[in-house]
Structures are given as structure tokens and as C-alpha cells.
Amino acid sequence: GAVVSQHPSWVICKSGTSVKIECRSLDFQATTMFWYRQFPKQSLMLMATSNEGSKATYEQGVEKDKFLINHASLTLSTLTVTSAHPEDSSFYICSARDSLRETQYFGPGTRLLVL
Amino acid sequence: GENVEQHPSTLSVQEGDSAVIKCTYSDSASNYFPWYKQELGKRPQLIIDIRSNVGEKKDQRIAVTLNKTAKHFSLHITETQPEDSAVYFCAAGPTNSGYALNFGKGTSLLVTP
């Protein structure tokens, strides 16, 4: 399958700081990427859809000013958690859609811990 | 919006037995149904998918069936092995968010030797 990378794999930060997470499609171009959040022993919850060259589409209940998404190229989307708080601690996973295969592939995830 | 129900939430089988996980969806416009396997702390891995123009698809020990009329699809794993132990998620799409997927709550499969 196609390869999607995510960086960093884990991050610990102080409350009030901002954290940027990168998602890259390594061997295909992805006009559409997705950001999910997963709490322990729970399913993946879609946060937003990231479209290359346009504004992201956020799911209901997700604050766009808190979770900034930028998709500036066909292989890179970034999620910035602004003014992080302990309740933002979670496993953040991106996925990228391979339009040729019409399939989504997931990144390895980023574990965020806000102290 | 799309609602994906997945059952059972936990499943324990003995090595060599078969495992079946079932999902239902609500949006008749959904036409893509992937299954992902997620091991603890790792990314979900696509193991098989099916599109609405196909009723069944098989890949070695894994098969997926789709009943579009009833809006349900199932994952079948035969000759289970301990390394099949993981959480399995079904999903359906597209959604109102375009190509995004709606995921079921997951099934924790345990295969005991």
C-alpha cells in the first residue's frame, strides 16, 4: 500500500503552547487528507477534511480556530493545536486519499500529551 | 449523516476458528466499505475493502460481503491465528464531508492459541 508519514510521533508540551503535526504522503499525491482523533479504546473521530489549496472543512463541534489546518502542497498537510490544554491530549492520526486507488491510507499517528 | 454500527464490540475465538464482524450503515449513498486492522498504539491498516458494485470479495483468509439492500457488510476471517488479534474497524463512505469515512466503534478480536 501507499506510504503516509506523520511527524512527530509523540509530543509532550505545557498547557497553553501550540503544537504542529505534519502529515505527508510519500509516494502519491493527495489532494485530500483527513485528520482524526482517537481516545484510548475508542474509534476514530473525524476532525476535519483538508483540501489542497483551499480551506479545510471541519466537523461539527471542532473549533477551527483551535485546530488550524494547512494543506499547502499535494503531499503535505499540517495540523496545529493552538493553546493546547490537557483535554487536547489524544492520539491524532491523519490519512491521505490516493485518488488513483480511491483509497485512504493512514499515517502512524501522533500521541500528544499536554501537561 | 452516516451512522455506522459495528458488532460485536469484543470477540474471542480459538486459533483455527472463524471470526465474523458485522456492520450496518444508514446512508444509501455510501458506496465504499473498507476494513481496517489496528494493533495497539499503531496506525489502522487497510486489510480489505469492497465497493457497492460487488457483493463479495476475498483475499486469502479474509473476505468481506456486502448487502446493499439491507445496508450491511461483514468481515470474515477464517483459520484465525494469534497474530490476527487486534481491533478491527469497519467504515463507510463517502460522507457529507466528501471522501471522509465514518467508522464503526471497533471490534476487539482475541485469538487464543
pLDDT tens-place string over residues A36-93: 999 988 889 999 999 888 889 999 999 999 999 999 899 999 999 999 999 999 999 9
Q: Which residues pair with A1 in a beta bridge?
A: none
Q: Does A106 touch chain B (CB under 8 A)?
A: yes
Q: Name the amino acid, one letter, at A97.
A: R
Across the range B35-39, mean pLDDT stands at 95
Residues of B in contact with A59 (CB under 8 A): 97
Instruction: Kindly provide the residue ranges of all beta strands, DSSP E only, lying in A1-115, ordered along the sequence.
Output: 4-7, 10-13, 19-25, 32-38, 44-51, 57-58, 67-73, 76-81, 90-98, 103-106, 110-114
Listed range (A59-63, A109-113, B59-63, B99-103) with the worst mean pLDDT: B99-103
Task: Provide the pairing of β-strand A32-38 with B102-103.
Answer: unpaired
State the Cα–Cα distance between residues A62 and A56, nearest whole angstrom: 12
- Inter-chain touch A59–B97, beta carbons under 8 Å: yes
Q: Is the pLDDT of residue B97 over 60?
A: no
Using the Cβ of A7 and the Cβ atoms of chain B, whether some distance falls under 8 Å is answered with no
Q: Is the pLDDT of residue B24 over 80?
A: yes
The answer to whether the CB atoms of B103 and A43 lie below 8 A apart is yes
Identify all chain B residues contacting A90, using CB atoms and an 8 Å cutoff: none
What residues form DSSP beta bridges with B10?
Answer: B108
B1, B102 contact by CB (below 8 A): yes
